[in-house]
Amino acid sequence: MAGKNPNKNNKKQESEQPLDPSRRNLLKSAGIVGAAAVGSGAASNVIAQDSMRANSASSPITREALEVLTAEEAETLEAICDCLIPSDENGPGAYEARAVHYIDRSLASHNKGVRENYMVSLEAINNYSKQTRGEPFYRLIKDYQNSILSGVQTNKVPGCAPSGSGFFSMVRSHTIDGTFCDPYYGGNQNFVGWDMIRYPGIRLSASETDVAQGAALEPNHQSAYDHETYTKMASNMAMNRRGGNSNA
Amino acid sequence: MPRNLPKTDVVIVGMGAAGGVAALPLTNAGLKVTGIEAGGWLSPRDFAPDELRNGARNWPQSVQKAATEAPTVRATSDEKAVQGGHPMMNAVGGTSMHYWAQSWRLNPWDFEVVSATRERYGADRIPADSTVEDWPVGYEELEPYYEKVEYAVGISGQAGNVKGRINTSGNIFEGERQNEYPMRPLRASPFTDLMSEAARNLDWNPFQGPAAITSELYDGRPPCQYHGFCNKGGCHVQAKSSTAFTTIPKSVDSGNLDIVTYARVTNVVTDNNGKVTGVDYVRGNETFFQPADVVLIASYAYENVRLLQLSKSRAFPNGLSNNAGQVGKHYLSHHQGSPVIALFPRDLHNWYGLPAQGVAIDDWADDNFDHSDLDFIGGANLWVHTDRKPMSAAKMGTFGKVRNWGSKWKKFIMENADRSNVAYIQKTTLPYEGNYLDLDPTVKDPMGFPVTRITARYRENELRIAEFSQDKMEEWYRAAGAIEIQRTGLGNAMGATTHAYGGTRMGNNSETNVVDRWGFSHEAPNLGILGASVMGTSGARNPTLTVQALSWRTAEHLANNWRSIVG
């Protein structure tokens, strides 16, 4: 499975350095390195370009904005998700699955009740990171990030809502949702989550032979909404679209 | 003022598992029935195989009436009750659209807990603070109605006792049946075979459980496709025998059933003589009065009780049918938590399983074993099933082997996602003094009506069964080769649940019960109540089939005794 991720090596380097050169260049080209004020438009470009990199093997992502999170919140959250379900020698993780994209959208819909907890906690984590390490969380090396996140889980980072452990447990749960959900909701991009745990995919019918094969069954890589029966709108039915980028 | 509608013979409040069954014998008898339903019609197109939609997004419940009036919960009367979620859904077919569809008959013992315990072990074995009574109806009297429902909606299963002939492939402890199930049980799987063999090695009696799911072509509906999205999801091929696909369309076809959707009943109206005259309901921005000769309340247990408590009148100043003060009493939530979780050393092949495809053990349920040297009465049904989905699989416990995030955890779930199993253990639960439903003094629904407040907690008897059954469950898992076992806590507060009982209990004594042996009010003779709110004990298994058998019986009684009930 590790071989499936063309970006794995880059990702690995980035996570071990304070600021990956390629990311620095990216930020530079977006005009926000050293800038006091961060324009949301420019920041969205950064996220979009990051996203394109993550998905270079598949179709490029077009016309995509953050629904709820600010650019800095998204970047902080992405670093957290990458600690929780890392991209590592065992293959892609929450980053490639685009768990943050899922969480951002979910905060505009079924998770909107906990928006405040995200905003407050992500800021608290960055504040703590700046105080103790001199940099916002998402610029730290992975070891430091893991150590701070442990502190969140054990209530040692002040200011999280509803509490450190409460926020940790919620963000862990949402990161799993975003990594293993139907790709229709913006996560589990390219089915990396389902492949990770060898889930052979949604089938409308499973025979005894299918069941007997277990994880040896060939993954079919389909969203529920690749089946015409379930397409959301009648107008979608003719388009035969693949799951992945639609609004949740 | 509500707009007056033309009179109908019978109003049924709620077109779910109970009301949807009751409609059939009534309309077959030629009675005109109006079903008032808070939800709408759903179709197989609405049931995508989508774990997130069924779970975290909680569709369609999250956008419905029930979600706006979820009960508040507290363990004891000196605590403040906190509002949680509502476990049920509004739709034509109700929660029978998306339940697990396990369809059990109760054990004969569950109908006579008091007398059977007194006889076998002595009266002092009945917990002192329990308000349990024998049912006014025994298993034998309900047996024909169980069978009518099994055939009308379509239940698959393996009988264990037909006319006294014991079949060890079925449940040898079940009450005597007159006939087989209409369909063979759902198929076995590598995991159910593993667990069945382990149980037989322990000298226990495993069997495939009964389900309201087709195992073969039945009544025009195709067999189950085993894709496995039953839990909080409807069936994409109508293999799940919801009333929405069985008894309700048949009733509609008779020409005698009208269903009003997206309508919420706010009041059951009574005259000064204490007879009900119809119901007020709100639909959109309009309020209607639907007059009827008979009203059958068939919403969920919480809403049945709440509607009675809200329907105050001159004849019933404390709520309808509540002059004896029994509405809301004898409430219980089934003890169905406190699972045991196992880790196996190899894949279990459960990615395409369903909650109703499983193996049951009844050796430790009800009074199927000697309790002489034990400190509780009743027992538990042990159930293992094959349901597994990717998000919940990734949220599996780690059995203390790794921290629950990071690279080591990721490696753990990559290896073990298809290797764990969570047992479902349903336990005998009794009613007690101090466990009750009333109207919350402060929390209201968007229309301004108070929501239901649950004040209830499990007692020693339930907690002892929980511990005992966890021991048995662990023994079973170990016998099947489990390498790690995790147990969960034994339980405390009785939260809002899919298995809620009591509040309008059925019994001959009008001082301690709300409805009589036929399901009609002791105080308002043309008011009937359907649902588990009439049940006085839970048994150790899912309530729906018993609810449906009782509903059929109440409806048939009404049709056969129309003149005396209408008066």
Which residue matches tokens 């990030």? A145
Longest dimension (CA), chain B: 73
Q: What secondary structure does DSSP assign to A205-223, as a single string?
A: ---HHHHHHGGGSPP----
Taking Cα atoms as reference points, which of A215, A220, A216 lies closest to residue A243?
Answer: A220
Q: Mean pLDDT over residues B375-402, rounded?
A: 97
Question: Rounded mean pLDDT of chain B?
Answer: 97
A229 CB within 8 Å of a chain B CB: yes
- Residue A245 zone, left/alpha/beta (φ > 0; ψ -120 to 50; rest): alpha
A196·B413 Cβ contact <8 A: yes
* B350, part of any domain: yes
* B75, part of any domain: no
Q: Would you say B278 and B289 are in contact if contact means Cβ atoms under 8 Å apart?
A: yes
Give the one of B57, B226, B390 whose C-beta lies nearest to A206's C-beta.
Answer: B226
Phi, psi of A23 (to 5 degrees): -70, -40
CA distance B407 to B281: 56
Beta-bridge partner residues of B287: B282
Taking Cα atoms as reference points, which of B306, B316, B321, B307 lies closest to residue B268?
Answer: B307
* B502, part of any domain: yes
A205·B404 Cβ contact <8 A: no
Closest residue, chain B, to A180 (C-alpha): B391
CA distance B516 to A164: 54
* B308, part of any domain: yes
B393 CB within 8 Å of a chain A CB: yes
Q: Supply the angle between the helices A8-16 and A21-29 in degrees, to the nearest 10.
A: 90
What is the number of structural domains in chain B? Answer: 1
B156: three-class secondary structure by DSSP: strand
- Residue B475 belongs to domain with CATH number: 3.50.50.60
Residue-wise pLDDT tens digits, A17-75: 444 434 433 433 333 333 333 333 333 333 434 444 444 444 445 567 999 999 999 99
A3: three-class secondary structure by DSSP: helix
CA distance A43 to A41: 5
A205 CB within 8 Å of a chain B CB: yes
Give the one of B48, B407, B418 whose C-beta lies nearest to A86's C-beta.
Answer: B407
Q: Mean pLDDT over residues A149-159, rounded?
A: 98
User: Given this model, what pLDDT does residue A35 score?
Assistant: 34
* B219, part of any domain: yes
User: Which chain B positions have a beta carbon within 8 Å of A81's beta carbon?
Assistant: none
- Vertex B335 angle, CA B379 and B328, to 5°: 115
Whether the per-residue pLDDT at A242 is higher than 60: the answer is no
User: Given this model, what pLDDT does residue B337 score?
Assistant: 92
Q: Would you say B240 and B17 are in contact if contact means Cβ atoms under 8 Å apart?
A: no
Domain residue extents for chain A: 41-198
Taking Cα atoms as reference points, which of B385, B356, B362 lies closest to residue B174?
Answer: B362
Which residue matches tokens 């005109």? B32
Instruction: Compute the half-sphere exposure of residue A107: CA atoms within 13 Å on the CB side of its CA.
Output: 23
User: Which chain A positions have a beta carbon within 8 Å of B349's beta carbon?
Assistant: 211-214
Identity (one letter) of the amino acid at A3? G
B548: three-class secondary structure by DSSP: helix
Residue-wise pLDDT tens digits, A82-118: 999 999 999 999 999 999 999 999 999 999 999 999 9
* B103, part of any domain: yes
* B309, part of any domain: yes
Taking Cα atoms as reference points, which of B105, B106, B108 lies closest to residue B116?
Answer: B108
The band of A230, judged by pLDDT with boundaries at 50, 70 and 90, is confident
Closest residue, chain A, to B47 (C-alpha): A230
Q: Which of A230, A233, A236, A237 to substitute to test the interface with B, most B CBs within 10 Å?
A: A230
Q: Would you say B289 and B2 are in contact if contact means Cβ atoms under 8 Å apart?
A: yes
Whether the per-residue pLDDT at A236 is higher than 60: the answer is no
* B343, part of any domain: yes
User: Which chain B positions have a beta carbon within 8 Å of A84's beta carbon?
Assistant: 405-406
Tell the burial category of A164 from Cβ atoms under 10 Å away from its Cβ (0-12, 13-18, 19+): buried
A205·B190 Cβ contact <8 A: no
User: Given this model, what pLDDT does residue A6 score?
Assistant: 39
Domain that holds residue B488: 3-69+84-566
